[in-house]
Amino acid sequence: MNSPQIPEPKANILIVDDTIENLNLLATMLAQQGYKVRKALNGKMALMGVKAAPPQLILLDIRMPDIDGYQVCETLKADEKTREIPVIFLSALDDVLDKVKAFEVGGADYITKPFQIEEVFARVHNQLELQMAKAEICQLNAQLEQRVKNRTQELKAANEQLKYMALHDSLMGLPNRSLFMKRMEEAINRTKDNPDYNFAVLFLDCDRFKIVNDSLGHMVGDELLIAVAYRINQALSPDDILARFGGDEFMVLLEGIEQSKDATYIAQKIIDNLKVPFHLKAQDIFINVSIGIVLGTTDYDQPEYILRNADIAMYQAKSLGKARYMVFNVQMHKVAQKRLQLETDLQQAVKRQEFFLNYQPIRSLITGRIVGFEALVRWHHPTKGFISPGEFIPVAEETGLIIPIGLWVLREACQQILVFQNKAQQKDLKINVNLSVKQFSQPNLIEKIDDIIGETGINSQHLKLEITESAIMDNAESATIILEELRKRKIQLSIDDFGTGYSSLSYLHRFPVDTLKIDRSFISRLDENDENLEIVQAIITIAHNLGMSVTAEGIETGQQLAQLRALGCEFAQGYFFSKPLKQEAAVELIATSPQW
């Protein structure tokens, strides 16, 4: 018998047949093809042999005296260890029902006796090829699963890192404002549930720190702040919380105090600890803190009010000579009255339209040209003059006046960008407008934006809305709907001050965001140490992996510009390029077509 010589990798094949002649013939022929062949005369021997050393393929006769081939196949397929071994039935039974049954019990193929050896070779070859393909697919799947697992772990680690960054100070690892506000809110809720529970909040601001920082440099300033935090912590119990609010401001939450004098005792202890000079850079540095104290009561509903009152008390202590503490009380009501007056003035400012816009250019770090402006609201009081945005915007947020102010800013900015585009002969100039948390929560926000786009005639693709992380994360489900509606209108979206709030990569991946805007607090320390550089690099990498561009705000030095360019940051703004400009100055700047 002439048989084709098909080159095969060596495979282990088990032949099961109660006819010795068939068994030997098949064994000989397959062995000549390079296969490793084992033989079994009945079903029991076959099952024992498979259990002892599983083959890669089985040629199985159907009619056998003890256990027929169908039963052998069913037994093999019921066992997890052997179910993947392909079984080719060999039988003189040529009825269709016999073949159907063979496939029903798990057979991979069926050869009718008397057989042609070439057919056997071909079917054996095909089944082994299929097994090899399956094995390769399984291996690829395993590799893919491992890659997915590794990527998931990387994303989880990055998410945890961002969470930590969002809730902790980068310099000392202390809780930051966001985390401290959460802890204050928990303490307030505890007073509602348990009237016997008392807590106190201490607002600490370092005296004379700016002088030290300016004269000895930021690095010494950072070392000093770390040393100050250490001494503050020495006055606290393990249950108390010390947080850094940025710069030289610290907050302390004293939980479970018995009476008000417990808080004043801790405050004095902190001041005493700081009286000993700090020895840095071969010199003694004297620094202390002014402390405002607020006693937590059931009268407080929001942590912001406690923070406000602690801030008032701290400034009162500072005005009385520094290195001392003050407890907030009714004697400080004048400050509250001043704030109330500011709220009244703000109401009138909205009616009288006392606001105007400044525009800070945004530049491409690739071409160096202006690609757009951020619209920044300003207020000129008729008698008090210029009112700082830092003074009136928080009040506007709290009172809800930010909603009409925000709509006016959006309308004014959309009108102005058309002027800028015409002056610059640059039709793709964009205008960035901030949306506040309260604006973002308004049910008719999309309708209002549509009205303004229709009124001004701006191309919606030239409008970019800047939204803080908190605005999105406070209500992620409704935020998704709003952001999708904005995307349908081709309005671009930017996450403002990224890294300063709670960042969740899982949510960020869901949102149709175009740009991440790195907060100035990261940029200002960019050239101070490698850690800050790595944080900025991580944010840029994450943004690019999610298909977003990056804008850095607060660039003040050429070194920061060079570093951001090297990291692949696309856009930037800051005083290094230009301070926020009035309309006329912005037009003049455009006319000069500056490049960096």
In degrees, rounded to 5, the angle at the alpha carbon of residue 169 between the alpha carbons of residues 163 and 173 is 90
Rounded Cα distance between 445 and 449, Å, is 6
**Helix, strand, coil shares, percent, the chain, to 5:** 50, 20, 30
CB 571 within 8 A of CB 364: yes
Q: What is the 3-state secondary structure (H, E, C) of 87-155?
A: EEEEECCCCHHHHHHHHHCCCCEEEECCCCHHHHHHHHHHHHHHHHHHHHHHHHHHHHHHHHHHHHHHH
DSSP string, 334-403: HHHHHHHHHHHHHHHHHHHT-EEEEEEEEEETTT-SEEEEEEEEEEEETTTEEE-HHHHHHHHHHHTTHH
Task: Give Cα separations from 499 to 126, 166, 176, 345, 470 (angstroms).
Answer: 57, 6, 12, 34, 11
pLDDT of 330 reads 67
> What is residue 12's three-state secondary structure?
strand
Task: Please choose, from the candidates 564, 528, 553, 518, the residue with its C-alpha nearest in 3D space to the C-alpha of residue 225.
Answer: 528
In tens digits, the chain (596 residues) has pLDDT values of 454 444 445 789 999 998 888 899 999 999 999 999 999 999 999 999 999 999 999 999 998 888 999 999 999 999 999 999 999 998 887 778 888 898 999 999 999 888 889 989 999 999 998 988 888 898 999 899 999 999 989 999 888 888 888 899 989 999 999 999 999 999 999 998 888 899 999 999 998 898 888 888 889 999 999 999 999 999 999 999 999 998 899 999 999 888 889 999 999 999 999 999 999 888 899 999 999 999 988 888 899 999 989 998 998 898 788 899 999 986 776 766 788 899 999 999 999 999 999 999 999 999 999 999 999 999 999 999 999 999 999 899 989 999 999 999 999 999 999 999 988 888 889 999 999 888 888 889 999 999 999 999 999 999 999 998 777 876 777 888 899 999 999 999 999 877 665 555 556 777 889 999 998 888 988 877 778 888 899 999 989 998 999 999 999 999 999 999 999 999 999 999 999 999 999 988 887 766 66
Q: What is the pTM of this model?
A: 0.50
CB 526 within 8 A of CB 563: yes
| CATH number, domain 354-590 | 3.20.20.450
Locus of tokens 């991946």: 509
For the chain, what are the domain ranges? 12-137, 177-328, 354-590
Strand 12-16 with 36-40, pairing: parallel
Residue 163: count of CB within 10 angstroms of its CB: 14
Rounded Cα distance between 67 and 40, Å, is 12
Q: 333 is written with which tokens?
A: 């009501």
Locus of tokens 């912590």: 233
Rounded Cα distance between 373 and 475, Å, is 29
Angle, helices 69-78 vs 43-52, to 10°: value is 30
In degrees, rounded to 5, the angle at the alpha carbon of residue 188 between the alpha carbons of residues 184 and 192 is 165
CATH 3.40.50.150, applies to 12-137:
no
CATH 3.30.70.270, applies to 177-328:
yes
Q: 359 is written with which tokens?
A: 């525009």
Rounded Cα distance between 569 and 280, Å, is 36
Rounded Cα distance between 493 and 117, Å, is 70
Query: Among the residues of 518-557, which ranges form H helices?
Result: 520-524, 530-545
